[in-house]
Amino acid sequence: MKCSRNRRVLSLYTIDFFAVILMDTRSATTDLKWDQLSLRGDTDGVSCSLRLVTTAKAWTEESWRGLDEKSNERAYVACSFHVANPGNWLFTPLIPKESANILYINILYNTRSCEQYHDPKSCKETSPVSVLTKDTTAEISQATLSVTLKPPTKYVRFGFEENGVCVSLLTITLHFSTYTHIII
């Protein structure tokens, strides 16, 4: 009679996930001074010819009391409902992506209802977010987007367009998730 033994090896893993913060406007101690670009139509609403406006700053940088009600945080505000066909862009600086393959951007913002304004030239209640150097973008929630990056990508830049919406960008956080694992 032959006896056989089954030997099983049980490996235990511990995996720790953590977020690497690439940008967080809540930690800014000085002005952000992000780049702006204004493409505006004529204010009469008749002509649709666009002209580059480099001197006008449609986005205003200001401080607001943070959600913790203790800290002052930097924010950008824009509201061009009085202009027909506004196109005011705000751009983050170029941000090194480090070792990230997927980036997550969290945006705390608010908009104003068009009902508050009498006879607006332009009024919308949504605002687009654009990504420079991207492969795919997926909405995680109303305030979080994930961006999958192509392998040669070294930097990313986000653009926010105010196109007739009154919007406040209160906090913007950009991060990626990484993990470590330990075999026990």
Q: Domain boundaries in the chain?
A: 26-179
Q: Which fold has domain 26-179?
A: Jelly Rolls (2.60.120)
Q: What percent of the chain has pLDDT over 70?
A: 64
Q: What percent of the chain has pLDDT over 90?
A: 15
pLDDT in tens, 101-115: 888 888 888 887 777
Residue 138 has pLDDT above 70, yes or no: no
pTM: 0.70
Judge residue 90's burial from the number of C-beta atoms within 10 Å of its C-beta, 0-12 exposed, 13-18 middle, 19 or more buried: buried
Q: Which helix (H) or strand (E) holds 160?
A: strand 155-162
pLDDT in tens, 52-107: 444 457 899 999 888 888 888 999 998 887 777 788 889 998 898 888 888 888 88
What Cα–Cα distance (Å) separates residue 5 from each residue in 1, 10, 11, 64?
13, 16, 19, 69
R_g over Cα of the chain: 23
Mean pLDDT of 132-161: 68
What Cα–Cα distance (Å) separates residue 80 from each residue in 9, 24, 48, 57, 106?
66, 26, 16, 11, 24
